[in-house]
Chains A and B, each alone.
Chain A
Amino acid sequence: MEQFKERLIDIFEVEEINDTDVIKQFEAWDSLTLLSIIATIDSEFGFQISASDFDKIETIADLLQFIENNKK
């Protein structure tokens, strides 16, 4: 999970991320960022999150929890 957080830091081009950060409020957020995160989750955790499931996720903590619940 730490490695995944590192990759989120690279994706969002920020110094650090916090559990309470709202994903869609990162400056680097766009549709391609969404697809990049989906691909990274697939690569790191072996499952595909659908765009509609992703829509329900608000914060970094929500995302990490979703991964915890669904990873293989």
Chain B
Amino acid sequence: MRETVLITGATSDIGKEIALKLSHTSNLILLGRYQEQLEQLKAHCANSSSHFVFQFDFNDIQTYRNTFADFLLANEIQVNKLVHCAGMMKVMHMKSVDLKNTHQIFNINVFSIIETLAILLNKRLNGNALNNVVFISAILSKFGSTGHHLYSSTKGALDALMRSLAVELAPNVRVNSVLPGAVETKMSKHLLSDPILLEKLNQQYLLGIGKPVDIANMVNFLLSDESSWITGQEFVVDGGRTINIKNS
């Protein structure tokens, strides 16, 4: 029987690539902010009619738990695997941070997945169906960069959450995170369009700038039985960026 995989942030470039890859072997729930983009993605997936779309904006996190639980009940779906791609980046001086910015980025990057896990681990709603969780973190969880404090702290929170969950949920659920370096996406487009920065990145990234498929391949591995003895780990996928001492 085909398993069901929930992908948050499904219409992000990385989420999309993961969805397209997994659609051959799994039924998907595509969760994202924009209905039209979700429907388009669904239409592009293999076995298009076997996937679901759930539109939600994590800025409205207070109403998420009930809304998503109702969706699962109404469609009689149980979720086996969860991939958390929903994420946003905010770059600014620390002195310019306000509580609204902080709430927004934590809602989308962190609280979203905590709320999702609370639903999927509820026996009444999801039985014992959940068996695998992968978070998309970032190398900024481990390293510092000017202006990236909020983003880094959300990704650090994800990795810490991942480890404790891996312990709490073993042996039934494996939990791991993937830490991408710079990948060509909508999120990084404004950075990668700067020629001076691009030149610097090309020196730092031994294998060049990443593509969404590089991340999707790692996620696919972690969701598969090929990784059945792996849990609670962080996987850096960054084309050699963080081990390159010469150009750090």
| A positions within 8 Å CB-CB of B | 7, 10-11, 32-33, 35-36, 38-40, 42-43, 50-51
Contact = CB atoms under 8 A, between A and B. Distances in A.
Nearest to B193: A51
B243 interface: no
B146 interface: yes
Nearest to B103: A43
Contacts of A10: 95-96
Given A32-B91, A32-B146, A32-B147, A39 B190 contact: no
A32 B93 contact: yes
A7 B100 CA distance: 14
Interface of B: 90-93, 95-96, 98, 100-101, 104, 146-147, 190
Would you list the 10 A-B pairs with minimal beta carbon distance, nearest first?
A36-B96, A36-B92, A43-B100, A35-B91, A39-B92, A36-B93, A32-B147, A43-B101, A35-B92, A51-B190
Contacts of B190: 50-51
A39 B101 contact: yes
Given A32-B147, A35-B147, A51-B190, A43 B93 contact: no
Contacts, number: 35
Contacts of A40: 92, 96, 98
Contact of B96 (A7, A50, A51): A7
Residue of A11, A33, A42, A43 with most chain B CB atoms under a 10 A cut-off: A43
B95 A39 contact: no
A43 B92 CA distance: 12
A43 B95 CA distance: 14
Contacts of B93: 11, 32-33, 36
Given A32-B91, A39-B92, 7 more contacts: A7-B96, A10-B95, A11-B95, A32-B92, A32-B93, A39-B91, A50-B190
Most buried by A among B90, B92, B95, B98: B92
B146 A39 contact: no
Nearest to B95: A10
A23 to B, nearest CB: 15
A10 to B, nearest CB: 7
A45 to B, nearest CB: 11
Nearest to A28: B93
22 contacts: A7-B96, A10-B95, A10-B96, A32-B91, A32-B93, A32-B146, A33-B93, A35-B91, A36-B92, A36-B93, A36-B96, A39-B91, A39-B92, A39-B96, A39-B101, A40-B92, A40-B96, A40-B98, A43-B98, A43-B100, A43-B101, A51-B190
